[in-house]
Amino acid sequence: METKTEAVNTTVRVGPIRMANPIMTASGTFGSGREYAQFFDLGALGAVVAKTVTLHPRPGNPPPRVCETQGGMLNSIGLQNEGIEHFLREEMPFLRTLPVPVLASIAGHALDEYVRLAERLAGTGLAGIELNLSCPNVEGGRLFCGDPDRAYQLVEKVRRSTTLPLVAKLGPESASIMEDVARACEAAGADALSLVNTFPAMSLDVRRRRSRLGTMTGGLSGPAIKPIAIRMVWEISRIVKIPIIGMGGIMTAEDALEFILAGATAIAVGTASFANPLAIPEIIEGIKSFLNEEGIQSLDELRGRLNI
């Protein structure tokens, strides 16, 4: 006999991308999924966003690259990766086996690099492309996200070079800048926005008189940034019509539901998977349980429905 839980509809659409549930992986936290496949069925995911890839191999930043903080973690990986040709040759064959939508995440120092990456990804079976406009751990990492005109130019150029859905990943800029950048990305043809990326932050070793990272600063993620990230999702959801993928400190199903209530269509989970490899399937099941308990048949009944 069919249970009430089975009748709950968790499907969402991020632009043209249909997902069985709203939970996807945050780029840079899940690799291509091979390691996590030993812990749970990757088919349970709403979507996979692979680690950001660049046109040419990048060695990344000097170690140490990660340190724990109160309520989160700092990372300064520096977009280490083997480049697009390695990604296509070594990672895409595995990613194509996954029974869920897969998005590649791309980054570059110049507009043309994004365009060339998007062109190389055509015809590979991807469901979409994430444009990483906001990595704080590389030189010039906020070049596009902090400038509405440059963000528009980038998205518009990539839009003309590919038919794949585009997700623009934004960083934690000031409220006025982020609103302008969000509007610019939407006007340029982005199918969705993803926010927010990690916050530039520091952690210092007072005895050694130096940073706990190999670089002076890194990107702060984890529960410490969740209240700020939710506020940003809420603000941006009121000024754009395209879907928003919310992220930032999501550790539990209730965290994810807060983002949906604030206006997010989908949720990206990152740091939680480092602490608990089963965090994502637990969050998915927790959302289903909540909807069942509340008598909610679809996430549309919850999204953006704040009592104000």
Contact 147, 203 (CB under 8 A): no
Average pLDDT (284-301) is 97
Total domains, the chain: 1
Of 127-131, 145-149, 237-241, where does mean pLDDT reach its minimum?
A: 145-149
Question: Does residue 308 sit within a domain?
Answer: no
The closest of 161, 111, 105, 107 to 129, measured between CA atoms, is 105
Question: Does residue 199 sit within a domain?
Answer: yes
For residue 268, give the CATH number of its domain.
3.20.20.70
* Tens-place pLDDT, residues 203-236: 999 999 999 999 999 999 999 999 999 999 999 9
Question: Does residue 21 sit within a domain?
Answer: yes
Phi–psi pair at 32, nearest 5 degrees: -110, 5
Which residues are designated catalytic? 135
Contact 114, 89 (CB under 8 A): no
Question: Does residue 232 sit within a domain?
Answer: yes
Q: Name the band, by pLDDT with cuts 50, 70 and 90, for residue 135.
A: low
The CA dihedral of 70, 26, 38, 55, to the nearest 10 degrees, is -120
Question: Does residue 306 sit within a domain?
Answer: no
Question: Does residue 248 sit within a domain?
Answer: yes
How high does pLDDT run on average in the chain?
94
Separation CA 176–CA 119 (nearest Å)? 32
Q: Name the band, by pLDDT with cuts 50, 70 and 90, for residue 4.
A: very low
pLDDT of residue 142: 54
Q: Does the structure show a pLDDT above 80 at 139?
A: no
CB neighbours of residue 300 within 10 Å: 14
| CA atoms in the 13 A half-sphere facing the CB of 91 | 25
Question: Does residue 307 sit within a domain?
Answer: no
Question: Does residue 239 sit within a domain?
Answer: yes
User: Which domain covers residue 18, as residue numbers?
Assistant: 4-301
How much of the chain exceeds pLDDT 70, in percent? Answer: 95
Average pLDDT (178-202) is 96
pLDDT of residue 187: 98
Bridge-based pairing state of the strands 218-221 and 72-75: antiparallel
* Tens-place pLDDT, residues 29-41: 999 999 999 999 9
Q: Name the band, by pLDDT with cuts 50, 70 and 90, for residue 76.
A: very high
* Tens-place pLDDT, residues 20-67: 999 999 999 999 999 999 999 999 999 999 999 999 999 999 999 999
